[in-house]
Structure 1
Amino acid sequence: MASSNTELISTNPATGEEIARVAITSMQELDAAVERAWQAFHHSGWKELLPHKRALVLNKIADGLVAEKESLARLQMADNGKPLGECRGMVESAIGTFRYYAGVCETLETDVTPSRGDYVSFTVLEPFGVIAAITPWNSPIMNDATKVAPALAAGNAVLLKPSEDSPLLGPELARIALAAGLPKDLLQVVQGRGADVGAALVAHPGVRMVSFTGGTTSGRAIARVAGDKLIPTALELGGKSPHVVFADADREHAVAAVVAGIFGSAGQSCVAGSRLFIEERIYDEVLAQVVARAKTIRVAAPDADGVEMGPLASFHHRERVVRFVDRAREEGGRILCGGEVPTGGVFDQGAYYPPTVIDGLGYDAVSCQEEAFGPVLVALPFKDEADLIAKANGTAFGLACGIWTESFKKAWRIGRALEAGSVWINTYKQSVTSTPFGGFKNSGIGREKGIDGMKLYAQVKSMYFGLHEQPLAVAK
C-alpha cells in the first residue's frame, strides 16, 4: 500500500501490482459525512423501526453478501493476500454475523426491574447515534461485519473507516447494505490513514461512540481522546497468546493445532498462538515435530492449488516482520526454520515470508513480549504449572491462550489462572459470533460478539411508571 495526500494505492501483495486507487476523505468531506449520518439517524426512521423489521434488512444484507460471495472473496484476496479459501471463509463469517444480529435484534429482551414503591420500572435500549467503526487490514470483510451488524441492529448510524492497507471491502459492504434497503447515509465509508482521517474521526464532536480493532498504541491514543470527550469505546487490541502443550497431551492434535494457530493467516491474527510453551520433559520432541511440520507448509500464491500460506498483507508489513526476526537473532534466538525472505518465482514478486520457529530465548526477551503479527513462533520450555503461569502471564497482553492436556482438572486450573479473554482447551482459534470476544490487560476493553455485542452499541435507559394513588409529598 502506498499513498499520496489525496489517494490510497492498493497493491496486490502477491504480485506487487497496483489494483486500485481510493480517494482519501478530506476533513470537509468527513464533516459532511458526519452531518449526513446524523440526518439519517434522526430522519430515516431506522431507530424507530420495529426490531423485527430492522432484522429483515439485516437478513437482506446477508443475502446480498451471499450473492456476491465469490467476487468479494477474490477482492479481499487481491487486497490483502489471504489464500482464496480463507477469504471465502471470511465472507461466510460476515454473512453469519448479519444473520446472527438479525436474530438478536428481533428477540433481544430488556429487564422489568423489581420495584420498591408504587411504580413499575423497566429498562429500554437506546442507540448512541453516530458510531465510528475502525477496522484492521487482516480480515476486512469479517471485521467490518462484526462492528457494523450489531451497531445497525441497535439503531445507530455508522461511519466505517477501513485500514489504509485494505480499503476495498468496506465500500462494497456499504453498497450491498444500501441495495438491501438500509436507509441512505446510515452506513458510510471514510478512507485514509489512521493517523489523519482515523484520528479526525475519533475526535469529531459528532461521533458518540468508537469501536476499534488494531494495535495497542493506536488503542491507547483513541482511549485518551474518548476520555476527553467522555464517550464509550470498544477496543480489541494486540496479543502475544501462549499455546501450551503438557506432557499428557494428544501429541498429534496438539502439534497440528500449534502449527495452524500461528501459521494460519500467515500469523496475521490477533489471537495467533505466537508463544509456544512445552513441558520440559517433552520439549525437544514436540518442538522437532512442530518444526518438521512448519517446513512442509505450502507457501504460494493465494489462489494456487493446495496453498496453505500466502504472502503477508503488504511489503511494509513484511519489513516489520523481518526486523522482528533480526531482533530475535540479536537477543540470542536460534532460528530453527524460516527466518529469511524467500526468493525465486512468485517470491520475487510478492510480500512472502516463510513459517519461522525460534527458540533459545528467555521469556522476558523483547521478542517474547512484543507482537510480530506474522508467521513467527517463539518456543519456550516450562517446568511445572507454577512456572508456566508466571511465564505465560508475564506479558502486557491477555487476548487468548490454548491448553493441551488430557486432564480436565489441570485444564480448569490453568484456564482460570491464565490472563486471557479466550481460553481454548484441546483446540485452538475457534470463534463464533454468538460467544463474546475481547481481551484482558493491554489486549483491550469491552466485548464484541454475542448478545452483549449488540448491547455494546446501545445505552440503557431506565423507565418508571407511577402507580401511586396520592400526590407525591415533598418529604416522607
Structure 2
Amino acid sequence: MSTVSVKHHQMFIDGKDVDAPQAFEIRSPATEELVCTIAKGSVEHADAAVESARRAFESGVWSRKPKEERAAIMKRIADRFGEELEELIELETMANGATVRQATGFHCGLAAPHMLYFAEQAESYEFERAIPTKAYPTHSVNTIIREPVGVCAAIVPWNFPLVLGLWKIGPALAAGNSIVVKPDEKTPLSLLRAAQIAYEEGVPAGVFNIVTGDGAEVGARLASHPDVDKVAFTGSTAIGREIMRLASGTVKKVSLELGGKGGVVMMPDADLSYSIDGALFGCMLYSGQICESGTRLFVHKDKYDEVVAKLVERASTIKLGDPTDYDTDMGPVVSARQRDRILGYLDQAKADGATFALGGGAPEGPEFEKGYWIAPTIITNVTNDMQIAREEIFGPVLVVIPYDSIDHAVELVNDSEYGLTAGVWSTDYEAASELAARLRAGTVWINNWHMVDPSLPFGGYKQSGVGRELGPDALNEYTEAKHVHLDLAGRHDRLPFDLLISTPLPE
C-alpha cells in the first residue's frame, strides 16, 4: 500500500527555516484531505523570534536604513507578489477554502497594490517636521520626529491571512520596525511565502519573522512579551480583550481590529436591480467569513416582502462547490469547528422563533458529504434583540428585519455592541449621506460593500476595535512621536532660569 507524501513547511526566524518537534496538519476545507503539515511553534520559538527582531532593530540594519532604500525593497516585494500571484492563491485557498475568483480579486489579488501603497508611504511619510512656536518663553526651534516603535508583533486571523497580515507588516516595515508574525495555524502558508520573498528581496534577517503556533501559547506570549513594543491583532472581540489585558502588563502600543455585525439600511427608493445582489455580496462573500460583512439588513416594512422574495430568488442561484473551479460562487467554511458553530446559531434562531426563508443548514448532495459546508441562509421573523441578530455568526447568514422610519432604522443599526461597518442602499445620494452620518461605524458604504482602499482608514467604533489600519496615518500606529526642542536664546538673561534661581550671576 503506497502512501502519498505531503509537503512539510517550517517557520521563518532570523532569515532561516526553523522546524519544531511537533506539527499542525492542514486539511482542505472542501475535501478534508491532508494537504500539508507545518511546524508547531512554541514559546521558545516566539522568544527566539523576538530576540532576533530586537537584535536586528538595534543594529540599525533596517531601522536606520534610508527611507528611500526601504521603499525600494518594499516595491520589489510588491512586484514579486504580482509575479507569484498564482502560487499565493494556491497556498491560500488550499487552506481557507476561498474560491479562486475571490482569492484572485481579494485574498491575494490585493497583496501587491496594498504593499505598494505602504512602500510609497515609506517615501512620503513625514518622519520629521518643524513646528512653528511663539517666542515666549524663549526663542526656539521645535521638531516632531516620528521614530519606529521597535519590535512589533502581528497576530493574524485565518480568513484573509495575506492581506490582513500585510496591513500590519507593510506599515511596520515602512516605519523601520522589526516584526514577528503569528498567523492562524490553519492558514499560515501565504504569509510564510511572503516572509521568504521579503528576505529574498533584501529585508535583512530578523526583521520579518513568522512563528506558527497556538494562539493561547504563542500569541499570548507575543502579546505579553516585555521586549515587544507594539502588538496588532485582528480577530474576535473576546480574544481582543485578552490581547489588551496581556499587553497592559508592559503598557505596549495596541491596535485591535475586532468583530462586527454590520447593519445595512435599504431605503424605500433603493434600486432593487442591483441592491439585492449588493446586499448578498455584502453578506455572503467568502461564505460570510469576513468581520466587516453586512449581516443585518433593515428593510422598510412596505418593501419587506418584495425584498425578501428577491433575496431568496437571487441567493438560490449561488453555486456551491469546488473552490478551485472558476465557476464556483461559494466554497466551504474553514473548518468543522466553524461549521458546527454556525449550525449552533441556526438551531438557536429556530428555537427563538425565526423563520428560514432559504437555507438553514448544510447543502444536500453527495459532493457535500466531505468538507465543511453551509448553504446560503436568509432568516426572517427576526427581532434585533435575538442572538442571531446580535452576535457575529461568521457564516453565509443574512437576517432581514423591517423598520418603520429612518429614525427607527438608525436606532436598529446602532443598537449593537459592534461598530465596524454599516451601509445604505438608496438612489437619493443626499438622503443616503445624511443617514450615513448618523450610523456609528468606522466605515459606511453607500451602494456598495467590501470596498477597502489602502489609502483610506479602516477600523471600528465601540467593541469593534482600537486604532485604524490603512490610510495616510497608518504609520502613526507603528511610530512614536518625539519632540526635540532647540533653544536659541543663547544668553542667561533671555532664559527663564530666574524662576528658580534669583541670585544674579557674579560679574
TM-score interval for Structure 1 and Structure 2 normalised by the shorter chain: over 0.9
Please say which of residues 18-27 and 361-370 is displaced more in the overlay.
Answer: 18-27
Among 80, 95, 109, which residue is 1:92 paired with? 109
Q: Which runs of 5+ in 2 are unaligned?
A: 1-19, 500-507
SS of 2:302's equivalent in the other structure is: helix
Partner of residue 394, structure 1: 415
Matches within 5 A, 1:249-288: 249-288=270-309
Q: CA contact under 8 A between 1:94 and 1:146: conserved in structure 2?
A: no
Count matched residues: 473
Superposition deviation, residue 111 in structure 1 = 3.1
TM-score (norm 1): 0.97
Report if the CA contact (8 A) 1:15-1:346 is conserved. no
The answer on whether the counterparts of 1:23 and 1:191 sit within 8 Å (CA) in structure 2 is yes
Distance between the aligned counterparts of 2:167 and 2:111, measured in 1? 7
The CA deviation string for residues 419-458 of structure 1, in whole angstroms up to 9 with x for no partner, is: 1000111222211111000000010010000121122111
> How far off is 1:86 after superposition?
1.4
Distance 1:415 1:230 in 2: 35
1:361 correspondence with 2:382: yes
Is residue 242–residue 275 contact of structure 1 (8 Å, CA) maintained in 2? Answer: yes
Amino acid at match of 1:102: A
Separation (CA, whole Å) in 2 of partners of 1:449 and 1:73: 22
Q: What is the letter of the counterpart of residue 411 of structure 1?
A: A
In structure 2, C-alpha distance between the alignment counterparts of 1:393 and 1:138, rounded to whole Å: 26
The answer to whether residue 128 in structure 2 is matched with residue 105 in structure 1 is no
Residue 18 of structure 1, aligned match among 25, 34, 37: 34
CA distance in 2, matches of 1:159, 1:261: 32
Cα deviation, residue 469, structure 1: 2.8
Deviations 1:104-155 (A, max 9, x none): 1101124321212311112111111110101110011111111101111011
**CA offsets 1:53-77 (integer angstroms, 9 cap, x no match):** 1100101111221221101101111
User: Following superposition of structure 1 onto structure 2, how do residues 15-414 of structure 1 map, counting pairs within 5 Å?
Assistant: 15-89=31-105, 90-109=107-126, 110-117=128-135, 118-414=139-435
| CA positional deviation for 1:201 | 1.2
For 1:41, what is the secondary structure of its paired residue? Answer: helix
Deviates more, 1:4-13 or 1:21-30: 4-13
- Corresponding residue number in structure 1 for 2:448: 427
CA RMSD of aligned residues (A): 1.4
User: Which deviates the most, 380-389 or 18-27?
Assistant: 18-27
2:497 match: 474
In structure 1, how many angstroms separate the alpha carbons of the residues matched to 2:371 and 2:28? 8
442-451 vs 110-119, which moves further = 110-119
Q: 1:456 aligns with which of 477, 483, 486?
A: 477
Deviation of residue 44 (structure 1)?
Answer: 4.7
Conserved? CA contact 2:99–2:326, under 8 Å: no
Identity between Structure 1 and Structure 2 (%):
36
The one-letter code sitting in structure 1 at the alignment partner of 2:130 is: V
Instruction: Tell me, yes or no, if the aligned pair for 2:423 and 2:445 is still in contact at 8 Å.
Output: yes
Distance across 2 between alignment mates of 1:359 and 1:236: 29
C-alpha change, 1:57 and 1:284, in structure 2 (3 Å) is same
SS in 1 for 2:290: coil
Displacement of 1:171 after TM fit? 1.2
User: Rg bigger for which structure?
Assistant: 2
TM-score normalised over the length of structure 2:
0.91
Amino acid at match of 2:403: F
Task: Give unpaired runs (5+ residues) of structure 1.
Answer: none
Secondary structure (helix, strand or coil) at the match of 1:131 reads strand
CA drift of 1:473 comes to 4.3
Amino acid at match of 2:277: A
